[in-house]
Amino acid sequence: MFIKVLGAAAGGGYPQWNCNHPNSRLARTNNKNALARTQSSIAVSADGKKWFVFNASPDLRQQIWNNPELMPSEKDPLRYSPIMGVVLTNADVDHTAGLINLRESQKFSLYGTNRVLDVIGKNSIFNVLNPKFVNRIPIELDNTFKLIDTDNNFSGISIKPFAVPGKVALWLEDESKGKNFGSVEEDTIALEVSNIENKKFFYIPACASIPDWLLEKLNNSELVFFDGTLWEDDEMIKENVGIKTGKRMGHISMSGDEGSIEIFKKIKVKRKIFIHINTTNPSLLENSSERKTTKENGWEIAYDSMEINL
């Protein structure tokens, strides 16, 4: 199974357009310790030819440009894309807005929970994904489904989606619905992805906490991509660039006694990779002490065009 990181940054990308935090400033100077990153997404393929994109970031057009395997090649028909489908893990702007890049009369499948597909369905801008060509396929929590290519053949990749602690997308929050803003289980899902040889990995770009059942599920796995939004829960407040904590945004932090680094120490995972990393997270910087800590604890920090073969 081939995996390519299309984008490793959280919503807004790194550097974010209006962010003048030192991390973003450094990235703008092309400093080798501050590698710019587009918004979070990966592409997965069983054969290296037909690809499935997990979350459609607003940077998708650039991500296709940066990753030639996602472009039609000389031998392909006049209209063609190796992108056979898109799988959504939530309705966040950084995970759905890129769908409009895939506009007009190109066949592919769009997979998401009923909740997320409903949001897409209610927003008429997504009609640019011509329903005659784009099959919207509802996925059910805890039920394995097969990714199919545009000729309706099994791609060799299966996915078991399951709910993880999280929150409804920021732009869909309903304050009248109380503390969780009307969030339901289907709002934030993780994907357990496997191929026909039963090679498996987990894709979890958003997660608010790590209950024991989740830890057990991830134990002894080969590869986990995990929510790396913030280093510290109140980092945006401390750095004077925002008013929200990670908890408020539905993201667990990397550091601290209740942080992901500490909690993952209880289990064995061969390869652990943080993805969806916010501009303020100091572990973005190659030479930071926080990066050193992630490394010492066996974590990698995803970067754009990172390649993994499982």
Binding site residues, ligand MLT, CB under 6 A:
10-11, 92-94, 170, 206, 249-250
Please identify, using beta-carbon distances, which residue of 45 and 279 lies nearer to ligand MLT.
279
Smallest distance from the beta carbon of 38 to Mn ion, in angstroms?
A: 13
Residue 98 engages Mn ion in binding (rule: CB under 5 A):
no
Q: Tell me the closest approach of the beta carbon of residue 94 to ligand MLT, in angstroms.
A: 4
Cβ atoms within 10 Å of 107's Cβ, excluding its own: 17
Q: Which helix (H) or strand (E) holds 83?
A: strand 83-87
Q: Are 303 and 8 in contact (CB under 8 A)?
A: yes
63-92: contacts with Mn ion (CB under 5 A): 92
Residue 93 partner contact from Mn ion, ligand MLT, none using kind-dependent CB cut-offs of 5 to 8 Å: ligand MLT
Can residue 227 be called a binding residue for Mn ion (CB under 5 A)?
Answer: no
- Residue with Cβ nearer Mn ion (17 or 213): 17
* CA–CA distance, 302 with 224 (Å, rounded to integer): 11
CB nearer to ligand MLT: give 92 or 149: 92
Q: For the purposes of burial, counting CB atoms within 10 Å of the CB of 146, is it exposed (0-12), middle (13-18) or buried (19 or more)?
A: exposed
Q: What is the nearest approach in angstroms of ligand MLT to the Cβ of residue 21?
A: 15
- Residue 54's nearest CA partner among 81, 84, 79 is 84
Tell the burial category of 199 from Cβ atoms under 10 Å away from its Cβ (0-12, 13-18, 19+). middle
Residue closer to ligand MLT, measured from CB, 82 or 228: 228
Residues at the interface with Mn ion (CB under 5 A): 11, 92, 94
